[in-house]
Structure 1
């Protein structure tokens, strides 16, 4: 027998959500057993097929009529005729009788997906919008138009069913044209948009309504940071609040981190302080094109200190300080050279990053050739995120490479690779194209 434990369908429900409507009473049978027999009952083949197996429902409970006596084993049958012959024979010889029992289910029992399915018209139940992304305490969803009449109910259900969620928002189609963050509406919970989000052993604080953040990109953040060497200097052109910059700095890298959005730059500085990497993260707030053109010159004029190992915890630093109190300073300590070479440019603005590639033309043209030859024996790597409508990998490669080379004004050949980051829509993919900056582009004086 299969018990119907689905919630009642309540189509046409309006906000606020009335949880008392979600109740279901299921009449079943229960078998009385002494507690000493429960082990053999569970192992019995006839019982194994007949004991209730609903998720989040205990199959063995105290007998309400005698809490200190026999236990009740709940059966997935409402009468004896529903039980297999073997099970009935086992119960006749081993159990202390069968009793009726009513299984009571309510709003707390069902999952968010089950509750949402129960409030939607039949034609909308397939593909119901229960999936969401978490950023700090905020759950953000992208509701299709047909689900908007139910948005408040959906938001409340997601809030109820996920204890870690305090705020539920729906991302709107409109995007801030200058700073590229999504506009959103509150569906349920507190109107608190200052989040604390943890990723890659870093703590990020920011106003989710004022900056861009995508939790689905955490694997891409990790992938690129793994490529960096701890001694490298990274130029992060569209740094946001630091998803690339801060993990790189924690690894030991020095980072020139830029973002045009003043809110992003503000929280990026705060996050560098909170993660104790402010000494190796320099934050700027300017147009990406200007940043690209000036970054190498600025670094030569004001280099970072030499790499001194990965960032230590507070406890490790305190231990070292205590040790140093008893260690005599050495007069012949070697002073390591500073870091004045950019090893990687990161351009994580997939909607328009390719349009900024022409800014690399001539970034070394106004530097002395002696400085460039001394510092840049190898050109920096460029990692540029972008979108393409070409779904076939070869077509995507041709499309992206064509647009990149048109902006650079030069073919891309050295250390070239193309990485599929994720699909963002049925006919839209996000890629990261990586290549070594051609020297002829960097020295182009035109």
Structure 2
């Protein structure tokens, strides 16, 4: 008896293995969903050429049985399984009747006995079905592989950086003859993108902006970009913005303590200054030499409701650094009384009389007369501005105010050194040379790789009092 049972179990196991092998064999067979060969015009593309009809088999399944068929181990691996294609559709021949469950095979002979028997039990037969794919089905990469010449397909662009509604690309020379086509494809395939541009040259040394060529879409560069719960509006063609730096923006703001005073020497449109004020209630001096940056920085300060915390200027970075200490000392910021409240909550507390009590309590707190942090986010030349700190504090009163807490400077820079210890040594040496003094308290953080032999870092150091006191 034991022998018979063992034999029965062995046969059952063999049957399951054969079925599994058969199922895997069929599972590996796949439908050719690649786009058709394209020989039409490049610009504009003839999208009608991108059509493909794939003959498959469909099971006519009553609506009450579709879930059972879809979830069965016997049939699951034979479902159509194509991205963006639903496995169950209405029967065009009988819209009120059976559903069609689409299979990845073209005839019944490709079904093993057990799945076939299961479908014969739960379905009302099979029908031939044509799966129709068009231009909208394929991804941008799929279309590019069909459109570009064979030698260019392997290195074809696969993505872009986005700023608001603008997609920014940096095409290699060999793809420039196809730039309009590439731009149009990416525009078609990304519904949130309205403009696709290509960078034309290196970043301008003064205002860090670059010329752009519109490849597809609207000639509109005024974008609205959201980061760190803040809303930024700016003309992408006239100011510097790098979406890849959002992590660095957050890192620096995360180092600030609520209520501190920040001086942002190269503020741009406010990626450090505005989150510092809005999220940390920091008081900020925000400066940028670019008139367009100053224009949009002022707008963003107002739009984000931090006009009482951020003072905006448009002047040379060296002049800004030299004057910042005196400005805050002569015109201090009001005392820090706690996190910034929304207008709705502030009005509610005012009605309850609590705001009046807070105001009276703040009268006993000292105003904010000293700077806690300097941010110098101009990596190409920021180190060259460090000599502006020499002798920046001239009065005995200011010396006394800063006696126990010199500002922390966060200076972004580039280096050609690829090893972190050598990069740190290189940056420290250049900073000390410009300051004219040794650094005793500092740290160096890697920000990102800019090019194969170019790394971006941020050195944070406590400003030596001997430098600022002259």
Q: In the TM superposition, what whole-angstrom CA distance separates every residue of 1:276-332 from its partner, at most 9, and x where no partner exists?
A: 111111111111111111110121111111113222222212223332399789978
Tell me which residue corresponds to 1:277.
306
1:212 deviation in Å?
A: 0.2
Tell me which residue corresponds to 1:3.
31
Tell me which residue corresponds to 2:434.
407
CA distance in 2, matches of 1:180, 1:423: 18
Q: Does residue 1:434 correspond to 2:460, yes or no?
A: yes
RMSD of equivalent CA atoms: 2.0
Q: Equivalent residues in 2 for 1:22-421 (5 A)?
A: 22-250=50-278, 251-324=280-353, 334-364=363-393, 366-368=394-396, 370-414=397-441, 416-421=442-447
Can you give the 5+ residue segments of structure 2 that lack an aligned partner in the other structure? 1-28
Q: In the TM superposition, what whole-angstrom CA distance separates every residue of 1:331-357 from its partner, at most 9, and x where no partner exists?
A: 787432111111001000111111111
CA distance in 1, matches of 2:99, 2:459: 64
Tell me if structure 2 keeps the 8 A contact 1:34–1:69.
Answer: yes
TM (normalized to structure 2)? 0.89
CA distance in 2, matches of 1:153, 1:142: 15
Alpha carbons of structure 1 residues 107 and 208: separation in structure 2 relative to 1, 3 Å:
same
Q: After the TM superposition, which segments of 4 or more aligned residues of structure 1 sit over 6 Å from their partners? A: 325-333
Alpha carbons of structure 1 residues 333 and 355: separation in structure 2 relative to 1, 3 Å:
closer
Alpha carbons of structure 1 residues 313 and 350: separation in structure 2 relative to 1, 3 Å:
same
Tell me if structure 1 keeps the 8 A contact 2:321–2:388.
Answer: yes
CA distance in 2, matches of 1:160, 1:202: 29
Q: In the TM superposition, what whole-angstrom CA distance separates every residue of 1:223-267 from its partner, at most 9, and x where no partner exists?
A: 111111122110101000000000011121110111110110111
Tell me if structure 1 keeps the 8 A contact 2:414–2:456.
Answer: yes
Alpha carbons of structure 1 residues 255 and 189: separation in structure 2 relative to 1, 3 Å:
same
Q: Secondary structure of 2:81's match?
A: coil
CA distance in 2, matches of 1:381, 1:116: 49
Higher helix share: 2
Can you give the 5+ residue segments of structure 1 that lack an aligned partner in the other structure? none
CA distance in 2, matches of 1:330, 1:288: 35
Q: Which moved more, 1:61-70 or 1:311-320?
A: 311-320
Q: In the TM superposition, what whole-angstrom CA distance separates every residue of 1:368-412 from its partner, at most 9, and x where no partner exists?
A: 2x4312344121101011111211111211221121111112221
Considering only CA atoms, is the larger Rg found in Structure 1 or Structure 2?
Answer: 2
CA distance in 2, matches of 1:152, 1:225: 40
Tell me if structure 1 keeps the 8 A contact 2:180–2:215.
Answer: yes
Tell me if structure 1 keeps the 8 A contact 2:350–2:356.
Answer: no
Q: Secondary structure of 1:278's match?
A: coil
Q: Secondary structure of 2:118's match?
A: helix
Tell me if structure 1 keeps the 8 A contact 2:349–2:355.
Answer: no
CA distance in 1, matches of 2:307, 2:199: 32
Tell me if structure 2 keeps the 8 A contact 1:11–1:120.
Answer: no
Alpha carbons of structure 1 residues 24 and 363: separation in structure 2 relative to 1, 3 Å:
same
CA distance in 1, matches of 2:153, 2:354: 68
CA distance in 2, matches of 1:440, 1:325: 45
